[in-house]
Structure 1
Amino acid sequence: MPRLSDSHRAWIDEAVRKVEADSQRSADTHLHVVPLPAPGSATGGGVDLYLKDESVHPTGSLKHRLARSLFLYSLVNGWLHEGSTVVEASSGSTAVSEAYFARLIGLPFVAVMTTSTSREKVELIEWYDGRCHFVDTAGEVYDAARALAEETGGHYMDQFTYAERATDWRGNNNIAESIFGQLAQERHPVPSWIVVSAGTGGTAATIGRFLHYRRHPTKLLVADPEGSVFYDGWALGDATVTGPGSRIEGIGRPRFEPSFIPGVVDDMVQVPDAASIATMRWISERLGRPAGPSTGTNVWAALGVIGRMVAAGEEGGVVTLLCDSGERYRSTYYDDAWVSSLGIDLAPYAAALADYERTGVLVDPRA
């Protein structure tokens, strides 16, 4: 291996300083209490729902945390150097955040993504001076990203491999430590459940490891959209399963990603696309601003957990994530014609959520 030159070391040191300085300029994300209809009410019932708002990061999504960690991990490993082209396989939000950090340290960036990625995300990547390279299916992004990195002499970030190891799961202001710090003065300072969805699996790995490390009784539920293989792979104990992939942008995968760690997961549920989109719209109305579709997946699964807790007479807190803003999906998941073109019927789930508003009991239309 070539010796690490003084100039390369100096460049790495300065790049790390810039990324860390950016972190110091950023405040933590908010933890909102979501009022619920009785009997599971945050203003009188026994169960409280909290929404960790990751949309307020500088690049507008949960993936800002991941991108920062991936850049720091790559820098301290000496994988990036002055002039490196950074390449990533992404469904959009990670690429937006990585484009931000690449520009911050002065490196060119290329995102490999499917042609179905929302126009709004593409425009954000380009706004941060990134370039988009499109492929037809989610299964093609890995090889295409690897090939582009080789062609340019650059570095493939490979979020799907490194997400679970780039973040310090023991603390260091990770998302799990932040959640527990913000809950300290609540009536249920240790939540009963944390509910997340998985794209790389890195967030689930960080939270699950933190729960085990700190010996919290909190359980971790992972919500998986239809078409994704995480649920089947977890249930079957088979990491070789493959599938078509997810229609909920940013989560779910056509293969069992290396960063998905099944041993940290207490339970999983499959969420229909219609439920994700209908709940995205429902929670947006309650918040007074639009949330993205993966937030709908998370909230639908969280409401299911709350329903079970209420039925069992249990009290406690349930925490889930607002992953990104719905502004990125105005031309897709908020467009009725676009949703209809996918053959997705929101009506049964919209009706179930309307009934939930009146009764406080959520009935799954599949039941």
Structure 2
Amino acid sequence: MIGGWAAEAVARLDREREDTGTTPLREFPLPGAWGVRLRLKDESAQPTGGLKHRLARALFAQVITSGRITEGTTVVDATGGPMAVAEAYFARLLGLPYIAVMPKKSSGAGVERLGGTCRYVHPPLAVYEEAARLSEEIGGHYLDHYRTAAEVDWRGASLADELFGQLGECPRWIVVGAGTGATSAAIGRRLRADGLPGRLAVADPENSAYFPGWATGAPDYATGMPSRIEGVGRPRMEPAFDSAVVDLVVPVPDAASVAAARYVRQVTGLAVGAATGTNLWAALELVTRMRDRGERGEVVSVIGDAGERHLATCHDDAWAEGRGLDWRPYADRLRDLLGEP
């Protein structure tokens, strides 16, 4: 049992989860004659605007209940983007100082708005060593979210529980991206623990280690190259990624991710990031296979990065062209498959 500050901190996390409520399932339009339904589980409705919100909450609960964080502990992590923002949000909720160590060219504005501090380092791969060094120097705790994500209990109050409660009937496929790998592991384990008939697919961008690592059965596979798609893909197989519960990993070209993100915006109005495009492209591959085999049923894709900031990234021609991502051929393929827009 835990008591005192730790008990109150966990209670705050539980209340935050209850107050946040359930994120929506959004319909993605497909031709009715196909007999296949596609829905998007939209984690962008979380308070920090993305899928990392649940993970950050679970990480804080894990390190608090294990005694690694106590009242007043400074939390340090090597991270940026949505993960850093989500961690800063929960650190503020719990009254804990927070420092995000991130590459020099990153923007820490979201962290700073939430009262956190950013430490910028170069080269980018130095963030891990600097976060560990800094936390030891100041007597803080290095959260190390890629490692800690592997410890998170996947049972109870998780994305998987909420999703299956919404669906009623298990879909044929659930499609997720993989950053830490914690989300795919939680959903895959839930499918197997309950003996559900659905299958799990992971959508993987270029340069990521997950597809080749899964395909070859090499748990230590590494590409050494960073993903260009924010939020998904890793240069190494992370500890939280459980390849044994993944039925399929779908490699997705980065330019296809950009085209699919733009298509989502056209048909739903959501300014999603390229990671949602990665998921949608993989989901449509599975939908097309079902259609061609005459199978009926549902595919659900977990998304979590809708936000106006993406209007200046994958929805901006200059941004995509500056990264050598020619989305136009993939946009043509989507139009041929689904029709206009």
Report the CA distance between 1:229 and its aligned residue. Answer: 0.8
Asked if residue 129 in structure 1 is aligned to residue 118 in structure 2, the reply is no
Counterparts of residues 74-93 of structure 1 (less than 5 Å): 74-93=63-82
Report the counterpart of residue 215 of structure 1 in structure 2: 195
Instruction: Give the one of 140, 145, 148 matched to 2:131.
Output: 145
CA contact (8 A) 1:293 1:326 kept: no
Q: Deviations over 1:282-315 (max 9, x none)?
A: 1111111211211110000000000011001111
**Alpha carbons of 1:232 and 1:134: their partners in 2 closer, same or farther (altered >3 Å)?**
farther
How far 1:252 sits from its partner (Å)? 0.8
What is the CA distance between 1:279 and its match in structure 2? 0.6
Match of 2:12 in 1: 18
Tell me if structure 2 keeps the 8 A contact 1:57–1:64: yes
Query: For 1:160 and 1:84, how far apart are their aligned partners in 2?
Result: 20
| Alignment match, 1:100 | 89
Residue 357, structure 1, aligned to residue 341, structure 2: no
Contact persistence 2:271–2:308 (CA under 8 A)? yes
Runs (5+) with no aligned partner, structure 1: 361-367
1:330 counterpart SS class:
helix
Give the deviation of 1:13 after TM superposition: 1.9
| Residue among 248, 267, 270 paired with 1:286 | 267
Q: Match for 1:93: what amino acid? A: P
AA in 1 matched with 2:149: A
Q: Against the structure 1 CA distance between its residues 342 and 355, is the aligned structure 2 distance closer, same or farther, given a 3 Å change threshold? A: same
Aligned amino acid, residue 314 of structure 2: Y
- Corresponding residue of 2:26: 32
Q: Identify the residue that residue 218 of structure 2 maps to in structure 1.
A: 238
Distance 1:311 1:359 in 2: 21
Q: Structure 1 residues 234 and 137, CA, compared in 2 at 3 Å: closer, same or farther?
A: farther
Q: Deviations over 1:28-67 (max 9, x none)?
A: 101112111x2xx3xx531100100100011111111101
In structure 1, the residue matched to 2:297 is 316
RMSD: 2.0
Aligned partner of 1:179 among 163, 186, 192: 163
Residue 169 of structure 1 corresponds to which residue in structure 2? Answer: 154
8 Å Cα contact 2:221/2:236 also seen in 1: yes
TM-score normalised over the length of structure 1: 0.88
More displaced stretch, 229-238 vs 333-342: 333-342
Given the superposition, is the C-alpha separation of residues 116 and 349 from structure 1 closer, same or farther in structure 2, using an over 3 Å criterion? Answer: farther
**Are 1:202 and 2:192 counterparts?**
no
Structure 2: segments with no counterpart, 5+ residues: none
The answer to which of 143-152 and 290-299 deviates more is 143-152
Whether 1:259 aligns to 2:240 is yes
Q: Deviations over 1:6-37 (max 9, x none)?
A: xx95221221222222122111101112111x
CA distance in 1, matches of 2:123, 2:236: 12
Identify which range, 86-95 or 272-281, moves more after superposition. Answer: 86-95
Q: Is the 8 A contact 1:195 1:319 kept in 2?
A: yes
Query: What is the percentage of aligned positions where both structures have the same residue?
Result: 47
Q: Residue 34 of structure 2: SS of its match in structure 1?
A: coil
Q: What amino acid maps onto 1:179 in structure 2?
A: L
